[in-house]
Amino acid sequence: MLSFFALACGTAPAADSGVSPPQHLLLVSIDTLRVDHLEHAPTLQRLADEGLVLRAHRSCANWTAPAMICALTGQSGIDLGVDPRNAGALRTTWSLPEHAELLAEVLQAEGFATGLVTTNSLLARGNGLARGYDTLESRPAAVAEDALDATDALFVDAERRFVHVHLFDPHCPYAPPGSDDTLGSPYCMGEPSATSPSAETVAELAADYVTEVAYLDLQLGRALERWGAAGWLDDTLTVVMSDHGEQLGERAEIGHGLDVFAEETDALAIFAGVGGPDIEVPTQHQDLKPLILQHLGLLEGFEVRERPLLVASIDAESTVLALERESWLYRRGWDGSRALYDRATDPEQLVDRRDDEPELAAELEVAMEDEVARLLAIYPEWEPE
């Protein structure tokens, strides 16, 4: 069943409604947070309950740099011609082209005072992702409490301000303060481990991951309380997102940067305190910048529309693309493999349905060709069979 429908974002204050949009923006981006773990995160759950949630939200990638390119520019690395390979997990040679327009640049031009505290150095490495911030503090892998404390300084007395904090918990190693965990380390590198972790190790790491989520959530709750009590959140749009998810044994691995399935690519997106119905159509990180600008009264006419979503796991050795349409995910691997999954009936994406849906598979194969061509233009060494 094909059902294309538009969902007007009716919750953004209309120009003629007499309601002024918020003056300020707080963006909290959380590394590696699985959206299906909110049961361990009462603060995030409360924000979701009280706010507007993008219910079927995806990242565009499975690791930080390409994911945050999408969220902060509204375009994917492939759109922008950036070679987004995850070579050695910390590829540093790419940089955003000048024509990529970052959220911070837009807001800076609108007169916002802009500031970023990031615990993931990929956002502050001279690759262009930190363009547009008046102040930038890079605290690699700092724990949430320290990063959130440092964020206090960004709440400057300005007519309009954009405060952005990127939190590294619950990225591996899964070791919140007070924990003696070291198990995360061998499975931390964004590439398949030499030997798959045992079921026992997976269970232990999954439990450690939960403690990281709970720690992060507790600290975020305290910070929001502190900022609220200080009046810093008055007249502020607060957006909370995750850059990507984390595999916890679903495909016999731990970590991310590995594949394109839900556990790594579903992402959190909450517009806290914003009323109106949640957005149910599939959305992607590229939608966040326009949605934020719309809620700040700086963009008119943007509508979230159901459309095919491209998710990429681009690696020097094992690139995988997925094209999603409605509930279907079509996966094309570096080894020439293809598969079609129906997330509606098979949420874990385990059963290849190409034989049941040959027409749809053929259609998505053709649609994928365009994406492959765009990828080959910037990454010619990738030669899918």
Closer residue to Zn ion, CB minimum distance, 169 or 306: 169
Total residues contacting Zn ion (rule CB under 5 A)? 3
Piece in contact with Zn ion (CB under 5 A), picked from 218-226, 242-250, 307-315, 357-365:
242-250
Piece in contact with Zn ion (CB under 5 A), picked from 48-56, 81-89, 212-220, 237-245:
237-245
Closer residue to Zn ion, CB minimum distance, 52 or 213: 213
Closer residue to Zn ion, CB minimum distance, 270 or 360: 270
Piece in contact with Zn ion (CB under 5 A), picked from 25-33, 127-135, 321-329, 346-354:
25-33
Piece in contact with Zn ion (CB under 5 A), picked from 23-31, 37-45, 258-266, 268-276:
23-31
Closer residue to Zn ion, CB minimum distance, 123 or 364: 123
Signed CA dihedral, 79, 53, 244, 318: sign only: negative
Number of residue whose CB is nearest Zn ion: 64
25, 30, 31, 240: which one binds Zn ion (CB under 5 A)? 31
Instruction: Tell me the C-alpha distance between 355 and 340, whole Å.
Output: 9
Helix/strand/coil for 344: coil
Q: Is 212 in the site for Zn ion (CB under 5 A)?
A: no
Q: Is 243 in the site for Zn ion (CB under 5 A)?
A: yes
Closer residue to Zn ion, CB minimum distance, 141 or 350: 141
User: Considering only CA atoms, which of 304, 216, 309, 313 is closest in space to residue 263?
Assistant: 313
Residue 292 carries which DSSP code? Answer: H
Residues 45-84 contacting Zn ion, CB under 5 A: 64
User: Considering only CA atoms, which of 378, 383, 305 is closest in space to residue 97?
Assistant: 378
Instruction: Tell me the C-alpha distance between 346 and 231, whole Å.
Output: 46
- Name beta bridge partners: 320: 313, 333
For 7-43, what is the HEC assignment? EECCCCCCCCCCCCCCCEEEEEEECCCCHHHHHHCHH
Piece in contact with Zn ion (CB under 5 A), picked from 8-16, 155-163, 229-237, 243-251:
243-251
355: which 2 tokens? 């034989």
User: Considering only CA atoms, which of 258, 352, 376, 353 is closest in space to residue 313?
Assistant: 258
Least CB distance to Zn ion at residue 271 (A): 21
Closer residue to Zn ion, CB minimum distance, 84 or 297: 84
State the maximum Cα–Cα separation within the chain, in Å, rounded to a whole number.
Answer: 61
Closer residue to Zn ion, CB minimum distance, 120 or 294: 120
Residue 253 carries which DSSP code? Answer: -
- Chain positions contacting Zn ion, by CB under 5 A: 31, 64, 243
